[in-house]
Structure 1
């Protein structure tokens, strides 16, 4: 059983450490070395956009970079590589507890009144940046702002963040985590150095699963193929019924004749009490399926089909957020989306 020190987030999984409390960085050594070298040379960009699929370690890398900056405030004497954070060290413990005075981690806020997390990062969260940056650094070192993920910024929050990125104070680094960087404001992307992270390879993914006690039967190659190089996907597939949900959804969407009864059974499986993770798995599987469909259309030269898929992604993403915000019937939500995708993919 994990002894959690980090606050619970909107995407927390039971017994899986948060990125802020994970001392192990796997699969991104080249990028980590590039960042360490840039910092040592005094060339670290003030705005970093870590882009890549969900669950591959983007946020973990962000916290490791923050730990590196806090541990070595003088860039010229910093080591050329990240050293493994000391879980017993003060900086690591403060970062894990969301209590480090030089770090601001912005994500979907928890609403005490409603007892649930918001579906977006609001402008009120982004306004915390100005208050944070108005304070004098406690040790004269770097300050780090992590937006996780920037995909969740609403329009007002994105515009407010842009203002902070335009005129950053000295010795301040913004790290934006983005699963779909193309959906961010172009003006935000233009003010950041885009750092693309790749999915984990099979051995790295299998090793992390064993570390988390979530190893899945089958070869490393099978795990990586199914999870698309994402340890989060692998955990959801093997521990929370994600494989079954994805398989049923695939059959419903690709079938020539839509099975309404099976769609309702799927809706029942991802709704009800203690089914928040399963509901999230379903919604993520839907969006990923549309992404793959759009990519396939674009690769085939069907620009109209790719554009239609992009519009469908926006429509479904709005429906997902409405279902979460207004507590709509999840069973009908899932069945209705399955029907819509079946009609769109078989048109």
Structure 2
């Protein structure tokens, strides 16, 4: 049975390794090669923006880069390519445990008083960077700051990060993970080298699911076809009722005659105790449906419709954050969003 070493995060899944403790990096060979070559040549950019859909391995790549830098403090003698980290090595264990003195991983903080994670990365989290950078590197090597995901920063946190990016200390690299780079401040994007990572190919996704023990050969192909190149999507679909939740949502949203009773039944399925993952699946599915519609409208040349869909995405994302922040009724939240999308998509 898998034993968690890394601290629990806001998006942790039971029995699935965190990116920081995952020695497997499948896909993204071109990006990994580019980063390794740049480091060896002494030309690694101080700000890296890893962009792409959720669940395709962006954070895993970030931690493999951190392992590469911290295991090889002299760039000129570093390997020309990433070497799979040894889970028994001290560097790997310290990174996995969030205890390496040259690595700072920033994500949504856990509030002990409320027994839950915040819905944003706060300015207090970003201010930890200055304290971290004020310390002398223990081996004279690089220091790595990972913000995961940068999309979750509120405006105060984003402005605080910008100050660090504008005046980066030597031998320091910032790795920002983003699902939606357009939502970041343009000034942050302009100070980073953007690496756009692509969804995993079906064979890559099936290999990774097999390695993680999350699917066998008989189910892997079907999961791959529905997961849009995201291993996280595949795991949610197969192990947490994600397939049923998304199927019912699509049926409700696309129905000519909206069924309020069915919407409330869906609300029941994603609310209640110990259903945080199911609630997150529903919210992600709603946002993905809107994003897909915006993309489809843009491709068809309907700029006004695409703009309206983009505005809807932002508004719904705010609604989701408010539901999480203020612990609003999840059943009514889910039923209400299903009805809202049905109206918007038929309009």
TM-score by length of structure 2 reads 0.99
Identify the residue that residue 200 of structure 2 maps to in structure 1: 200
Tell me how far apart the structure 2 counterparts of residues 271 and 213 of structure 1 sit (CA, whole Å).
28
Matched residues in 2 for 1:95 and 1:222: separation?
34
Question: Shift in Å at residue 230 of structure 1?
Answer: 0.4
Q: How far off is 1:248 after superposition?
A: 0.3
Separation in 2, partners of 1:223, 1:116: 31
| Match in the other structure for 2:152 | 152
Which residue is equivalent to 1:166?
Answer: 166
- Equivalent-residue separation in structure 1 for 2:221 and 2:183 (angstroms): 31
Partner of 1:66: 66
Note the residue ranges of structure 2 that are not aligned, 5 or more in a row.
Answer: none
Contact 2:253/2:342, CA 8 A, preserved across alignment? yes
Counterpart contact for 2:209–2:220, Cα < 8 Å = no
Mapped contact 1:202–1:223 kept (Cα < 8 A): no
Q: Tell me the CA shift for residue 223 of structure 1.
A: 2.4
Q: Distance in 1 between the 2:223 and 2:41 partners?
A: 39
Change (3 A) 1:283 1:217: farther
Aligned residue in 2 for 1:86: 86
* Cα 1:323–1:216 shift into 2, 3 Å: farther
2:223–2:237 Cα contact (<8 Å) kept: no
Instruction: Indicate the residue corresponding to 1:255 in structure 2.
Output: 255
Partner Cα separation in structure 2 for residue 317 and residue 220 of structure 1:
31
Distance apart, 1:226 and its partner CA: 0.4
State which drifts further: 209-218 or 240-249.
209-218
Q: Which moved more, 1:94-103 or 1:220-229?
A: 220-229
Indicate yes or no: 2:236 matched with 1:215.
no
For 2:9 and 2:64, the matched residues in 1 are separated by 18
**Partner of 1:302 in structure 2?**
302
Distance 1:220 1:112 in 2: 38
What residue number does 2:107 align with?
A: 107
Distance 1:302 1:188 in 2: 30
Deviates further, 206-215 or 238-247? 206-215
Equivalent residues, number: 347
CA–CA distance in 2 between the matches of 1:134 and 1:141? 14
Tell me the distance in 2 between the aligned counterparts of 1:269 and 1:46.
45
Q: Which residue of 2 aligns with 1:243?
A: 243
> What secondary structure, in the 3-state scheme, does the structure 2 residue paired with 1:187 have?
helix
Partner residue, 1:54: 54
Runs of 4+ deviating beyond 6 Å: none
Separation (CA, whole Å) in 1 of partners of 2:187 and 2:221: 39
Matched, 1:289 2:294: no
Q: Counterparts of 2:211 and 2:89 in 1: how far apart (Å)?
A: 21
Equivalence for 2:122: 122
- 1:320 aligned residue: 320
CA distance in 1, matches of 2:337, 2:223: 27
Q: Are 1:216 and 1:238, in contact at CA under 8 Å, matched by a contact in 2?
A: no
Bigger mean CA deviation after superposition, 10-19 or 71-80: 71-80
Residue 142 (1) aligns with residue 147 (2): no
CA shift, 1:222, in A, is 3.2
Cα contact 1:110–1:116 (8 A) shared by 2:
yes
8 Å CA contact 2:267, 2:333 repeated in 1: yes
Q: Is the 8 A contact 1:56 1:199 kept in 2?
A: yes
Q: Note if contact 1:119-1:321 (Cα within 8 Å) is conserved in structure 2.
A: yes
Root-mean-square deviation (Å): 1.0
Does the 8 Å contact 2:206/2:221 carry over to 1? no
- In structure 1, the partner of 2:131 is 131
